[in-house]
Amino acid sequence: MRFEFLSKYFPLPQFLAPRHIGVSFSDLSIKAISFDRTLSKPELKKAIIPLEKGTIIDGKIVNTREVAAKLSEIKEFFNSPFIFFTVPDELTFVFQVLIPIGRGGNAIESVAFSIEENVPLALADTVFDFTPIKIAQSEAEYQASVVVAACVKKEVEKFVNAIHESGLELVGCIHESQAIANAVILKKSSGTSCIVHARKDRVGIYLVKDNTVHFSTLRSILEGDYKNQFLDEYEKFLEYSLKYNTGDGQDVKTIFVCGEFEYAQKIIEAIAGSDNPVKNAKLSNIWANVLKIEENTPSISYEDSLNLAGPAGAVLSEII
């Protein structure tokens, strides 16, 4: 429990919540960004460090030493030791589940029991976190609806080891889809929306309700028609959302698109020409919770910023 309603009256000392670098990883690069989230006009600083082919494959670190070396470059560039990173979508399973709650119950144990029923991993092979969504009363007991993010433990540990080897100090991590939601959706928003994270070789699609990612899917894109491959996954995503009532029966009103600019534009065009067009499908503003772009022009170009939603969301994420 975070007691967010009290934190504004009793803010953490700076040494407990240090300014940190937000970092995301892909097969091609490490992206990093830094800004002071307490300022209305923060100075923005970013770095994109290319990786040698095969250093990270499908979100999994293959060459820890190479990743650590690149992270050392990031530490030197930003002149800061603190890092908050995103766990790649490839390593994360996000699902919603009902758990019993009551006197003497243990919510963590209840969530743990649900892991093997919802992900293709043994409980011992996962690390997980969860967010309570609502509580309902059935005939016999109270139940809590929670969103669970379960990650591949050994792969997350590789990122932690690389960070320690680089000399950086780890202050936290969050799954990539939620970090992106933290960046592109206004804080304390309500309703159901969708985020599309577009890259050349894969597309992530996330269902978001009241700022929390409830479900995510990832599609590898092969050579060929990018738009049709996306639409195939998009239709499956919509079908799943309706079948399992993931959006609580609410239609998706807005689609936020981010990622590599060229492919983000293709997504907008594909949605506009699809059988299920959404009127409010738009390229994202990753500074939604950082600054007012109509008043302060960011030092990072809009096209470049679309590809930095993950690390920006990591900066905005809370240190627990």
The CATH number of the domain holding residue 229 is 3.30.420.40
DSSP state string for 146-202: EEEEEEEHHHHHHHHHHHHHHT-EEEEEEEHHHHHHHHHS-TT--SEEEEEEE-SSE
In this structure, the answer to whether residues 39 and 131 fall within a common structural domain is no
In this structure, the answer to whether residues 214 and 159 fall within a common structural domain is yes
Q: What is the pLDDT of residue 320?
A: 44
In this structure, the answer to whether residues 18 and 135 fall within a common structural domain is no
Q: Which of 138, 153, 168 delimits the end of a domain?
A: 153
How far apart CA 210 and CA 57 sit, in angstroms, is 33
CB 81 within 8 A of CB 49: no
Hey, is 7 helix, strand or coil?
helix
How far apart CA 127 and CA 173 sit, in angstroms, is 12
Give the DSSP H or E segment for 109: helix 107-118
Q: What is the pLDDT of residue 10?
A: 40
- CATH number of 118's domain: 3.30.1490.300
Report the pLDDT averaged over residues 214-218. 94
Q: Which of 292, 290, 272 is nearest to 281 (CA)?
A: 272
Specify the higher pLDDT residue, 228 or 14: 228
Report the pLDDT averaged over residues 128-143. 84
pLDDT at 259 over 90: yes
In this structure, the answer to whether residues 182 and 274 fall within a common structural domain is yes
pLDDT at 294 over 80: no
CB 70 within 8 A of CB 39: no
Q: Which of 87, 54, 55 is nearest to 153 (CA)?
A: 87
Tell me the CB-side half-sphere exposure of residue 192, using CA atoms within 13 A.
15
Rounded to the nearest 5°, which phi and psi values hold at 37? Answer: -70, -5
Band of residue 82 on the pLDDT scale cut at 50, 70, 90: very high
Band of residue 5 on the pLDDT scale cut at 50, 70, 90: very low
Report the pLDDT averaged over residues 251-272. 94
Hey, is 38 helix, strand or coil?
coil
How far apart CA 115 and CA 117 sit, in angstroms, is 5
In this structure, the answer to whether residues 70 and 176 fall within a common structural domain is yes
Between 113-117, 219-223, 274-278, the lowest mean confidence (pLDDT) is in: 274-278
Band of residue 249 on the pLDDT scale cut at 50, 70, 90: low
pLDDT averaged over the chain? 88
Alpha carbon distances (Å) from 283 to 227, 257, 261, 262, 312: 16, 5, 9, 11, 16
In this structure, the answer to whether residues 192 and 308 fall within a common structural domain is yes
90-122 residue pLDDT tens:
999 999 998 888 766 688 898 999 998 999 999
In this structure, the answer to whether residues 121 and 80 fall within a common structural domain is no
pLDDT at 2 over 50: no
How far apart CA 33 and CA 25 sit, in angstroms, is 12
Q: Which of 153, 173, 203 delimits the end of a domain?
A: 153
In this structure, the answer to whether residues 128 and 229 fall within a common structural domain is no
Band of residue 276 on the pLDDT scale cut at 50, 70, 90: confident
In this structure, the answer to whether residues 136 and 160 fall within a common structural domain is no
In this structure, the answer to whether residues 145 and 281 fall within a common structural domain is no
Q: Which residues contact 219 (CB under 8 A, 6 or more apart)?
A: 202, 203, 204, 205, 229, 230, 232, 233
Buried/exposed code over 65-100 (b: 16+ C-beta within 10 A; e: otherwise): ebbbebbeebbeebebebbbbbbbbbbbbbbbbebe
137-175 residue pLDDT tens:
777 778 889 999 999 999 999 999 999 999 999 999 999
Residue 286 identity (one-letter amino acid) = I
Q: Which domain holds residue 146?
A: 91-153
In this structure, the answer to whether residues 118 and 84 fall within a common structural domain is no
Q: Which of 33, 2, 30, 5 is nearest to 17 (CA)?
A: 2
In this structure, the answer to whether residues 116 and 193 fall within a common structural domain is no
Q: Which of 106, 127, 153 delimits the end of a domain?
A: 153
Query: Which range has highest mean pLDDT (39-53, 97-111, 260-274, 290-304)?
Result: 260-274
Please give the tally of structural domains in the chain: 2
